[in-house]
Each structure stands twice: as C-alpha cells, then as structure tokens.
A and B are shown apart, each in its own frame.
Chain A
C-alpha cells in the first residue's frame, strides 16, 4: 500500500490505494463535502513520522525537503549557541525567549543556514520586515532568492520574509513551499486569525522568537501546539552589563504654558462631564471600549472622545518640550542623538523645527534605509523617529536618546530604547532623557470635588 500526500488550500490531502487498511493518522478526517481525506497542513510532520515508523511507502508531492546550500559568517555568542542547541534537540520545534537586543535574528539566521531548507519568516511590522530583508540579503542574497510579502510587495523566494498580515492572507496557497517556519515576536501567532499561519503551513521545522512569551489570554497553548514548547529562555538581568549597555536616565517634567493649560482643562472637562453624566466608571479597560462603542451613534460620546484626544495632544505637544529638546540638542552637539516619540505629527513638527532627519511609518523604504545608513556611517549624527522600536528593530548605536511622551512615562518603550544605547568611545556613559508633561489636571479635579 502506498499513501500519497498532496497539499491543497492549506490542507494535506491523503489518498491511499486501500483506505480501509490505512493506519489512523493524526488529525486526518474525511471531508463530507468532497469525500477527500485531509488534515490541516501543520500535521504533515507527524503524519510523515507515523508512515515512516510503519514502513509505509509514501508518494509525497509536498516537497518541503528541498535543500539549499547556505553558509553564514555569524559567530554565535555562548547563550545563542545554547538556545539553538536546545531547539535542535527538540526536533527543531519550539520557542526561544530572549530579550530585545540580544540577537534573536542571529539565532534564526544560524538555524536557517544549519537546516538549509526553504524558509518562511513571519514578522509583525514593516520595520522588522525591512530589517530582516536587509539581514537575509546580506547573509544569503548571493546564494538564494530572498522574497518579501508585505509593505506593498508580494515576491516569493526560497527564503521569504512576510508580515503576519500577508502570511495570513497567503498561507493556504504557499504553505507547502517551506521546510522551516520562523515566527518573530511569536506571541502574535496566538491571535485568532494569525494562528492560521501555523495551522495551514506544512513546514516540519518551526522556530518561535519572542521577548515575552506568555500571552494573558492563554493563547500560548495554541502556540505550543503549532510551534512547540518554550525550549530556551534568558532574562535581561543575566545579560545586562555583559552584552547590553549601561545608561543613565534623566526624567524632565515640563509645565504647560497658561494657554495650553487652559485648553487642556477645557478639553479634559468636556470629557469628564460626559463620562460623569453617562455614568462610566473607568474601573477597567472595557469601560473605555464602551465609550468608543457609544461614540458610533452618540455624537456626545464622540465629542467626548475627541476632547480626550485633544487633551492628550496638548500634553504631547507642549511647547516647553520643544524648548527642552532644543536645550538637549544644544548640549549634545558632539553626540549621536536619537529622538523618539509615538506621535507621527509631532515627529514631523520637530523635524521641521530642528531640521532632523525623520523616520516614521510614512517614510519610504529607500529613504528610511538611506537615513539609517547615514546615521550608522556618521554622515548624520541625529535622527527623530516614531515608535520604530516597538518590536525591537535594530537601530544604529547612539549615546543619547530622548523619549518624548504624553504625561505618563512609557516604561516598556524606555527600557527597550535603553538597550540600544552604547557608551561613547571615551567611555562616558550613555544617557536617556524622558520628556513628560507635568500632569496636575487630575489633582485639580480632585481638589474641586472636595
């Protein structure tokens, strides 16, 4: 008896000469609509393993075992080697948890070279997409075709990097083309739709990379099923000092101007009035969601939301911050400075005011690469960027970072940014400024209530 395996629309279709004698295979069911026996593609490795164990001849048209000749120049650090070995020991399946900035990309590239099979790499943002594409082209570009799915391009290669969105849309069609699936920031794979990327892909080898594996919604159970268990983990503290830079944090709180304060209070009051009259408590995040929902058909709710947005913008754009930034830029003329803020509009306003090269989600690929490489080679010593560090993008070394946030400190953001700071050649410590608006409004509201 020969069992034949075909791939169609994200499914492995199984056909046997005498289906009655065929052993039960994991996940395989008969589709009453077509009469075809099939299983979601991620079962492929398990199905092959069982057929091999039973010595049943297989007519396999799925072809994920094409070999590529790949080499890499990377030298792994000891902990990276440990991580890779742990993954290989678990049949090349599983999740590696490492902090941002500790070289997850390097581990993946070494895994790809070691396996030498067509690989699909899935990443959550366009920034990461481009960063991976650059790395992969540098390492393997002269040996194989590097494909890219996402950010306006749809190109398949032996090694292809894709956004989660593009991969979700195309996986049922291309899920048979890869022997290795790499999911960067793999916690995203737990999202309902994104699970399909794991489910409908036939790749036997699977590698997940993340800085934060546990998802609060328990979806990491799904990740365990689709990618494998966590095989290696190391935390920031055990890396600090060794591979990550030490830096000082200086928090600068600025005051709103009287006009800004008046506008802020006005907007904030509009918001609070509505919230109070509608009896919304804000004890949990879902209360805010409720307000957003109401704004769909209640103009007053919408006005309240817009007011809240205005209040935030006033905080974010406080003139005093720009003045503070000008002092910092003046003080650090000899240094390499990266300015970050989550608000695109603020990035452009500051870029126009201080003539700083800007990188945002609006910046085209060529220009973004140009700016980053000029920053790297020293042609530019300052850049301003919006949120590009959200998912751990490699940014050229800097010794001064300025984070401009609204009122609160965006702790997570700041920590990640800290990790890319490097001491200067002369050994002086890197420094990170946090510019935040001094929020006294809440206290005043509290005062009024008394």
Chain B
C-alpha cells in the first residue's frame, strides 16, 4: 500500500484504473534501486536530492515517489555522531542560557567553545552533531531490497492497486478459490452477499456500516483482501465501486494485472480429504457428458455460504449439479453441514454421506440426492444420479425439438446438429431429416450424393473414392458406397476396387 497522494489512476470514461507499470518502466525502477544502493553510507538528504533529480527527469514524479516509498521500507538508517545529539543540545542550550542568549556569531562561537569543553570535544563536532539525529541528517546504513527491477515493478503494481481500493465502498469478487476468499472475509471482519449473475455467482463485499450508509471505511480491508485473492487464486476478477470525492467510479482488476512478489507459485488445489481426491481421479478417468469442477462457487445458505466440493457441468447445455462429500469430522462440522444443506439456495445438489455418521435420516427431508458410502464414494452411484438428470434433460430437450429437422448445410453430422440445438446426440437420434440422407453419423443432401455418383465409376480404387468423399467432408465411405450403389472388392492387403451393384 502507498500513501494516497501517490495514487496514479486514469479516470477516462468514468473508470478508475490504476496506471500499472510494465517492462518500459523497468529502467526507471533499476535506476531508483541503484540510487539507493549508491547512497548507502551517506546522509538521508543526499539521497533525497538524488531522487528529486530523478523526479525532475521523469514526466511522472508520482511514479518516482511511489517506487521510492517502496524502497525506503527496505532501508536501515542510523544517527551517526560521536556524542548523542540530545546530550549535545542540552549542554549547548544550557551554555547559551548562561551566556544570556546568543544574538551574534561571536557569541555563538563562544557558546560552542564552552559546550565543546564540557563535552570534551571540538566546536566543529558540537556544531555538526547538534541535529545529527534529524531524519534528513541520519545516515543510510543498509539497503536490502527484496526484489530486482522487475520485482520492484510488480510490488509497485500490487501496492498501487491496493491504494486504489482505499476509497472503495463495495467490491465484487469472482475467484477460483472461493474458500480462501470467504475465510479472509471473516478475518477482515467484512460482510458479503452472494449475487447470481449471468456469468455465475459473485461475492458482493461491504462492511457492517454499509447497511446504513455508503462508506469508504472498509477501503483498507479491501486492500488487504486483494492481496489474499491475488495470492490464492489462479483466475479472479475484482470490481470495486469507488467513491472518488463524491463521484462514483468503477475499478476493475483481474489476475493479469498484478502478481504478489515473493509468494510461492500457486499449486494445484489440494483436496480436503483422500475420499474427495480419490473420487475426482476416478470420475475424471471416466468418459462422460459431465465435466467435473473443483470448489466451483459459493452458494447462499441462509446468511452464510456453502462452497460445495464439486460441480458437474453438463456438456450439452447450461446445467450444473453440485456435489458435496460429507466425511467424518467433528459434531460441530456435521451440524454446520446439515444446516447448510437444509438452507441452501434452490440448486441441484448431490450429497455423499459417510454411513457411519448416521445422519441419512435427517438428510432425507432435504431436496438433495443422498448417496450413502463407506470408505469410498462409488463413482457409479454418482453417475446413476447424473443419468437421471440426463434423462430429464433429454425429455425436456425432446419437447423443444421439431419432429423433422432440416439443417441448411449440404453435409453435416448428427453431433453438429445436436450441438446447434444444445442437446445430446441421443436426443435427435429418432428425428427425421427429410432434406438429407443419413450415412452412419453423417447427414448428406441428395444433390451431393448425385454429384459423387457421377464422379465414381466402376473399377476405381477404393483410395480414390475415399479422396472424392473427403472433398465433400464425408468420412462414412462404406455407407456412402452402398447408398450410391457400389460394393468394394477387396484385393488382399493392398486395397480394393469398387464394383457397381446390380440394379
């Protein structure tokens, strides 16, 4: 985080966008690092002067000051003086007092001489040491930055984004690590709601006082939150409402904007239990029309959230089923889970329950599908439930499909047609295609068949026929040949020739 007066944002188009720096600024970052390094052993004011020179050369002095502020945190300064300056002052001021004050430079010399005598040193040492402890006179004794020029730029971008959040009144976050997000919210004493949007659920975050007024009070908490989110999630997006001296602006940040320097690269998500890991591995190995997602998004349950272990996304339409594995845990955990499952918003939810918990009866009153298990969750049991959804989806799809389908393409496939309708191939298998002839999994118009029929003649090699078919993107060569009235006479391993069938 930087001081607010060092914030650099663009306000174009009602936005509030931090002016991030990139490789073009690495040279500046390097010269600032070098300026600090070369001033180790000199008084602070010399460093100040050198940095001020850089400020004049750069068009953006706030950028220079921001980088400088970050570097300053990596320095050590110390008062260097033979005699402690506060002692020098006491002696000097006492001497000045007994001389009835100093008005002329001759009087000053006298007083310094007396003080020097008292302190057993020279007048010059006294004069130089008088304010050696002022921060501008202190000596920079060490500079140990944690980063190189690129790292400094990354640190700057993170700090800048955090500073931009100081005036935020609300932030909305989407993250692929909702667990880390929710637990950080508790730690930072922030409050949240889950909002459903077209692009999934988003966590809307404010603080307690936001119930009564729009307030910037939680800005620094948002800034801390940003660090957690950027550190824990691989993909995330943060949209903040900024109270910019009374006018409302929008700040948008996402994973491409900032990195947290020095943090470990984000590892693959770990599983809460071996049972979950085992299930995920076995389900993924399976061919299925459902894609498995880990800790997909937070669901609203009463005034809290529940983050299910998994979600299954149906390949052929926008349909999601959540899956929670209830393993053995503490009684409090089970109680909390039960409440969550009872109160969760209206979604499709499958719950696998360890039979030894003995909570199956309680769960029966919920809307969820219950799968009891011992030791491991049987993939087949889950697939069976998913199949029942599939059947429902097929039935629903069938109702929306016309009895006869006429795709506009001359050559197409059942799969392409199914995708166009957003259903599975199964849903269209029993439809009629009056404008096409079905060749296996493909649909071909009679016109194309006629053209191919003209090109194919008796005695052609099978390979030639295949390449003619290929021209029209037909892969079902055998079905094609029998439809246009030919058969293949195979000739050992070297291939074959086509013969027309008797009429």
CB of A36 to closest CB in B, whole Å: 8
Interface string of B200-233 (1 = CB under 8 A from A): 0000001111011001110000000000000000
B451 within 8 A of partner (CB): no
Name the residue of chain B whose CB is nearest to the CB of A173.
B189
Instruction: Give the residue of B89, B101, B211 whose beta carbon is less than 8 angstroms from that of A381.
Output: B101
Interface string of B167-206 (1 = CB under 8 A from A): 0000000000000000000000101110000000000001
Residues from chain B with a CB closer than 8 A to the CB of A11 are: 208-209
Contact (Cβ within 8 A) A333 B130: no
Q: Which of B129-146 contact A (CB under 8 A)?
A: 130-131, 134-135
Contact (Cβ within 8 A) B59 A355: no
| Distance of A379 Cα from B135 Cα, bound (Å) | 28
Contact (Cβ within 8 A) A382 B101: yes
A199 within 8 A of partner (CB): yes
A390 within 8 A of partner (CB): no
Contact (Cβ within 8 A) B134 A355: no
| Distance of A352 Cα from B128 Cα, bound (Å) | 10
Contact (Cβ within 8 A) A355 B108: yes
Name the residue of chain B whose CB is nearest to the CB of A169.
B220
Residues from chain A with a CB closer than 8 A to the CB of B92 are: 355
Name the residue of chain A whose CB is nearest to the CB of B193.
A33
Q: Which of A4-30 contact B (CB under 8 A)?
A: 8-11, 27, 29
| Distance of A38 Cα from B209 Cα, bound (Å) | 10
A94 within 8 A of partner (CB): no
CB of A94 to closest CB in B, whole Å: 23
B111 within 8 A of partner (CB): yes
Contact (Cβ within 8 A) A348 B131: yes
| Distance of A35 Cα from B131 Cα, bound (Å) | 59
CB of A331 to closest CB in B, whole Å: 9
Contact (Cβ within 8 A) B207 A355: no
Size range of the chain B interface in the assembly: 35 or more
| Distance of A443 Cα from B187 Cα, bound (Å) | 62
Residues from chain A with a CB closer than 8 A to the CB of B97 are: 379-382
Interface string of B43-75 (1 = CB under 8 A from A): 000000000000010011110000000000000
Count CB-based A-B contacts (< 8 Å): 105
Instruction: Give the residue of A299, A303, A355 whose beta carbon is less than 8 angstroms from that of B96.
Output: A355
CB of B85 to closest CB in A, whole Å: 10
B283 within 8 A of partner (CB): no
Contact (Cβ within 8 A) B207 A9: yes
Q: Which of A363-388 contact B (CB under 8 A)?
A: 367, 370, 379-382
B12 within 8 A of partner (CB): no
A193 within 8 A of partner (CB): yes
CB of B345 to closest CB in A, whole Å: 14
Residues from chain A with a CB closer than 8 A to the CB of B135 are: 362
B287 within 8 A of partner (CB): no
| Distance of A11 Cα from B217 Cα, bound (Å) | 14
Instruction: Give the residue of B104, B108, B111, B189 whose beta carbon is less than 8 angstroms from that of A9.
Output: B189
Residues from chain B with a CB closer than 8 A to the CB of A39 are: 212
A245 within 8 A of partner (CB): no
Contact (Cβ within 8 A) B59 A38: no
CB of A289 to closest CB in B, whole Å: 11
B302 within 8 A of partner (CB): yes
CB of A204 to closest CB in B, whole Å: 19
Instruction: Give the residue of A33, A172, A200, A296 whose beta carbon is less than 8 angstroms from that of B303.
Output: A33
Contact (Cβ within 8 A) B101 A333: yes
State whether A326 and B103 are in contact (beta carbons under 8 Å apart), knowing that A10-B209, A38-B208, A296-B62 are contacts in the complex. Answer: yes
| Distance of A333 Cα from B100 Cα, bound (Å) | 6
State whether A329 and B189 are in contact (beta carbons under 8 Å apart), knowing that A40-B212, A381-B97 are contacts in the complex. Answer: no
B127 within 8 A of partner (CB): yes
Residues from chain B with a CB closer than 8 A to the CB of A8 are: 208
Name the residue of chain A whose CB is nearest to the CB of B112.
A355
Q: Which of A299-320 contact B (CB under 8 A)?
A: 299, 302-303
State whether A355 and B93 are in contact (beta carbons under 8 Å apart), knowing that A34-B303, A329-B101 are contacts in the complex. Answer: yes
Contact (Cβ within 8 A) B102 A196: no
Name the residue of chain A whose CB is nearest to the CB of B97.
A380
A448 within 8 A of partner (CB): no
| Distance of A357 Cα from B59 Cα, bound (Å) | 41
Contact (Cβ within 8 A) B59 A299: yes
Give me the 4 closest cross-chain CB pairs, A-B, nearest first.
A330-B103, A355-B96, A9-B208, A326-B103
7 A-B interface contacts by CB (under 8 A): A9-B208, A9-B209, A35-B302, A40-B209, A196-B209, A303-B56, A382-B97
